[in-house]
Structure 1
Amino acid sequence: MPFRLNPVPGPTLRETLAAADRPLAGMWVCSGSPLVAEICAGGGLDWLLIDMEHAPNGLESVLAQVQAVAAYPVTPVVRVPSADPVVIKQVLDLGARTILVPMVGSEPEAQAVVQAAHYPPRGRRGVGSALARSARWNRIGDYLTAAADHVSVLVQIETLDAVGDAAAIAAVDGVDGVFAGPSDLAASMGLIGQQTHPDVVAAVRRVFAGAKEAGKPFGVNAFDPAVADAYLADGASFVLVGADVALLARGAEALAGRFLPGGVTTRPGY
Structure 2
Amino acid sequence: MPLHLIPTLRDALTSASPRALTGIWVCSGSTVNAEIVAGSGTDWVMIDMEHAPQGLETVLQMLQTVAAHPVTPVVRVPIGDPVLIKQVLDLGAQNLLVPMVSSAEQAASLVEAVRYPPRGVRGVGSALARSARWNRVDDYLVNADQHVSLFVQVETAAAVDVAGEIAAVDGIDGVFVGPADLAASMGLLGQQTHPDVVAAVHRAFAAVLAAGKPVGVNAFDPAVAQGYIDAGATFVLVGADVALLARATESLAARFAPPAPSADGSRPSY
* Uncovered stretches (5+) of structure 1, i.e. residues with no partner: 265-270
After TM superposition, the structure 1 = structure 2 runs for residues 119-138 of structure 1, keeping only pairs within 5 Å, are 119-138=116-135
Distance 2:88 2:22 in 1: 23
- 1:209 lines up with 2:206 in the alignment: yes
Distance 1:144 1:251, change over 3 A: same
Displaced runs of 4 or more, over 4 A: none
Which shifted more, 183-192 or 248-257? 248-257
Per-residue CA deviations over 1:91-129 (Å, capped at 9, x if unaligned) read 000000000000000000000111101111111000000
Match in the other structure for 1:18: 14
Match in the other structure for 1:179: 176
Report if aligned partners of 1:6, 1:141 keep a CA contact under 8 Å in 2: no
SS of the aligned residue for 1:146 comes to helix
Per-residue CA deviations over 1:236-264 (Å, capped at 9, x if unaligned) read 10000000000001111111111111379
- 1:225 lines up with 2:192 in the alignment: no
Match in the other structure for 1:45: 42
Question: How many percent of aligned residue pairs carry the same amino acid?
Answer: 67
Letter aligned with residue 92 of structure 2: G
Per-residue CA deviations over 1:46-83 (Å, capped at 9, x if unaligned) read 00000000000000000000100000010000000000
Distance 2:175 2:119 in 1: 20
Distance 1:41 1:10 in 2: 15
Distance 1:135 1:8 in 2: 11
Higher Cα Rg, which structure:
2
* Uncovered stretches (5+) of structure 2, i.e. residues with no partner: 262-270
Match of 1:139 among 120, 136, 141: 136
Match in the other structure for 1:99: 96
Match in the other structure for 2:26: 29
| RMSD after superposition | 1.2
Q: How far off is 1:6 after superposition? A: 4.7
Q: TM (normalized to structure 1)? A: 0.94
Q: How far off is 1:34 after superposition? A: 0.8
Distance 1:241 1:263 in 2: 33
Letter aligned with residue 182 of structure 2: L
For these two proteins, the number of residue pairs brought into alignment is 260
Per-residue CA deviations over 1:131-155 (Å, capped at 9, x if unaligned) read 0000000000111000110100000
SS of the aligned residue for 1:196 comes to coil
SS of the aligned residue for 2:61 comes to helix
Q: How far off is 1:211 after superposition? A: 0.7
Q: How far off is 1:208 after superposition? A: 0.5
Distance 1:116 1:263, change over 3 A: farther
- 1:254 lines up with 2:214 in the alignment: no
Match in the other structure for 1:161: 158
Distance 1:8 1:248 in 2: 35
Distance 1:9 1:65, change over 3 A: farther
Match in the other structure for 1:241: 238
Letter aligned with residue 143 of structure 1: Y
Q: TM (normalized to structure 2)? A: 0.94
SS of the aligned residue for 1:212 comes to helix
